[in-house]
């Protein structure tokens, strides 16, 4: 396999570490996420993958920025649009694709599929199919860290639609009262499934809702990896040092529809094109070139990442499927019972 960050010889923790201090590595991971999802969409179209999937093309900067600031001991709850987050946090493309294709080598043995990727090593709890369900789980993880005197941080990643459900308000209220070490990261990509935010929510600046809980808030251009990383660094640092929770709203946009069957005919004319001009991959590339990087070398890096992804697809398609009895794995935890006295 090509010797890039895609190599399965690199551990998930090593894949995470390279993002902290290397802007080129962050762009490489964004290439990986974009290329992975483009190929994933093509695989679904051929019938090689069953079910559905939810792509995050256009939202790569948010995932990579968060991964660059977190420790592997921190915990993240994410949504069913979770491939980008899994890859950014360090899960290998092979493990993610094997899970999506239902292969036994997948991150959860091929039993979770596209909507339920997870990896303890990188701190990614199983991604949630229920809108907003990760918020109270992240608050609970933060409470556990606080109780144990651990300086780890929990992050709940959720979409704009989740700010309208009860669990959002309950989680923020409790976190504020107890000053929990949690960051509430709203990925405001304009649409909750098929509904534009102005049709479902009376405000479009969702960070303003933090004021109801006397909670600090930040709003950031989620298409800019440098700005997003800086905002998340402040929020994570506050949580880690006892300052309590923060609501961070990242203004993003998904280039694909809600799911693979959605062609997004509900978008206003010109909206997609407007956001594509702010493509986070394009902007990160331009920032590096402006700083002295070679455009040709970055193009070769992108090509190398694509070639490695093609190899991953070939390998994963040949992997074995789970057997029927695998559905009963990981249900029971063995215990030792003391004999009756």
Would 159 be classed as within a structural domain?
Answer: yes
Confidence bin at 2 (pLDDT 50/70/90)? very low
Please report how the helices 60-69 and 12-21 are oriented relative to each other, as an axis angle in degrees rounded to 10: 100
Q: Which two tokens stand for residue 152?
A: 């780890």
Would 337 be classed as within a structural domain?
Answer: no
Q: What is the pTM of this model?
A: 0.91
Would 339 be classed as within a structural domain?
Answer: no
Position 116 pLDDT exceeds 80:
yes
Would 340 be classed as within a structural domain?
Answer: no
Considering its fold, how many domains does the chain have in total? 1
**Taking all residues of the chain, what is their mean pLDDT, rounded to a whole number?**
91
Position 9 pLDDT exceeds 70:
no
Confidence bin at 330 (pLDDT 50/70/90)? confident
Predicted confidence (pLDDT) per residue in 282-316, tens digit: 999 999 999 999 999 999 999 999 999 999 999 99
Would 5 be classed as within a structural domain?
Answer: no
231 vs 227: CA distance, rounded Å: 6
Predicted confidence (pLDDT) per residue in 240-290, tens digit: 999 999 999 999 999 998 888 888 999 999 999 999 999 999 999 999 999
Domain containing 137 equals 12-328
Phi-psi region of 47 (alpha: psi -120 to 50; beta: other; left: phi over 0): left
Could you tell me if 222 and 232 are in contact, meaning their C-beta atoms sit under 8 angstroms apart?
Answer: no
Q: Which two tokens stand for residue 149?
A: 């005197």
Position 339 pLDDT exceeds 70:
no
Could you tell me if 258 and 54 are in contact, meaning their C-beta atoms sit under 8 angstroms apart?
Answer: yes
Position 10 pLDDT exceeds 70:
no
108 — phi, psi (to 5°)? -125, 35
Would 1 be classed as within a structural domain?
Answer: no
Would 190 be classed as within a structural domain?
Answer: yes
Q: What contacts 117, CB < 8 A, 6 or more positions away?
A: 82, 83, 86, 91, 96, 99, 100, 107, 108, 124, 126, 127
Q: What contacts 149, CB < 8 A, 6 or more positions away?
A: none
Please report how the helices 60-69 and 23-45 are oriented relative to each other, as an axis angle in degrees rounded to 10: 130
State the DSSP H helix or E strand holding residue 159, giving kind and residue range, or none if neither.
strand 154-159
Strand duo 191-192 + 182-188: pairing: unpaired
Q: What is the pLDDT of residue 338?
A: 55
Instruction: For residue 82, give the CATH number of its domain.
Output: 3.40.50.970
Could you tell me if 79 and 158 are in contact, meaning their C-beta atoms sit under 8 angstroms apart?
Answer: yes
Position 6 pLDDT exceeds 50:
no
DSSP lists the bridge partners of residue 250 as 187, 220
Task: Please give the C-alpha separations between residue 199 and each of 161, 190, 193, 209, in angstroms, as whole numbers.
Answer: 11, 10, 12, 18
Predicted confidence (pLDDT) per residue in 188-245, tens digit: 999 988 889 999 999 999 999 999 999 999 999 999 999 999 999 999 999 999 999 9
Would 335 be classed as within a structural domain?
Answer: no
Which ranges in the chain belong to alpha helices (H)?
12-21, 23-45, 60-69, 83-89, 93-100, 134-148, 166-178, 225-240, 271-276, 280-290, 295-317
Dmax (CA) for the chain in angstroms is 76
Q: Which two tokens stand for residue 188?
A: 């405001």
Q: What is the pLDDT of residue 174?
A: 98
Share of residues in the chain with pLDDT > 70 (%): 94
Position 5 pLDDT exceeds 50:
no
Confidence bin at 109 (pLDDT 50/70/90)? confident
Predicted confidence (pLDDT) per residue in 11-65, tens digit: 778 888 889 989 999 999 999 999 999 999 999 889 888 888 889 999 999 999 9
């Amino acid at each position: 396999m090509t010797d890039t960050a895609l190599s399965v010889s690199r551990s998930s923790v090593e894949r995470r570490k390279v993002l902290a201090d290397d802007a080129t590595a962050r762009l490489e991971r964004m290439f990986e996420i974009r290329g992975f999802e483009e190929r994933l969409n093509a695989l679904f179209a051929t019938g090689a993958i069953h079910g559905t999937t939810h792509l995050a093309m256009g939202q790569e900067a948010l995932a990579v920025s968060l991964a660059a600031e977190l420790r592997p001991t921190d915990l993240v709850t994410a949504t069913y649009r979770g491939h980008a987050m899994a890859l950014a946090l360090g899960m290998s493309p092979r493990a993610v694709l094997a899970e999506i294709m239902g292969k036994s080598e997948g991150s959860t043995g091929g039993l979770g599929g596209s909507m339920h990727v997870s990896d303890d090593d990188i701190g990614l709890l199983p991604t949630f199919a229920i809108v907003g369900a990760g918020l109270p789980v992240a608050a609970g993880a933060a409470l556990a860290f606080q109780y144990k005197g651990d300086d780890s941080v929990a992050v709940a990643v959720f979409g704009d639609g989740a700010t309208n459900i009860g669990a959002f308000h309950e989680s923020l209220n409790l976190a504020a009262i107890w000053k929990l070490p949690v960051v509430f990261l709203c990925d405001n990509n304009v649409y909750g499934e098929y509904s534009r935010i102005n049709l479902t929510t009376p405000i479009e600046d969702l960070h303003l809702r933090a004021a109801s809980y006397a909670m600090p808030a930040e709003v950031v251009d989620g298409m800019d990896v440098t700005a997003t990383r800086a905002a998340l660094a402040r929020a994570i640092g506050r949580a880690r040092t006892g300052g309590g929770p923060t609501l961070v709203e990242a203004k993003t946009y998904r280039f694909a529809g809600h799911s693979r069957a959605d062609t997004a005919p509900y978008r206003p004319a010109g909206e997609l094109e407007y956001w594509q001009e702010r493509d986070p991959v394009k902007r990160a590339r331009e920032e590096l070139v402006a700083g002295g990087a070679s455009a040709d070398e970055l193009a070769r890096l992108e090509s190398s990442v694509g070639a490695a992804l093609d190899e991953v697809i070939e390998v994963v398609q040949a992997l074995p499927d789970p057997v029927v009895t695998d559905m009963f794995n990981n249900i029971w935890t063995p215990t030792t019972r003391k004999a009756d006295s």
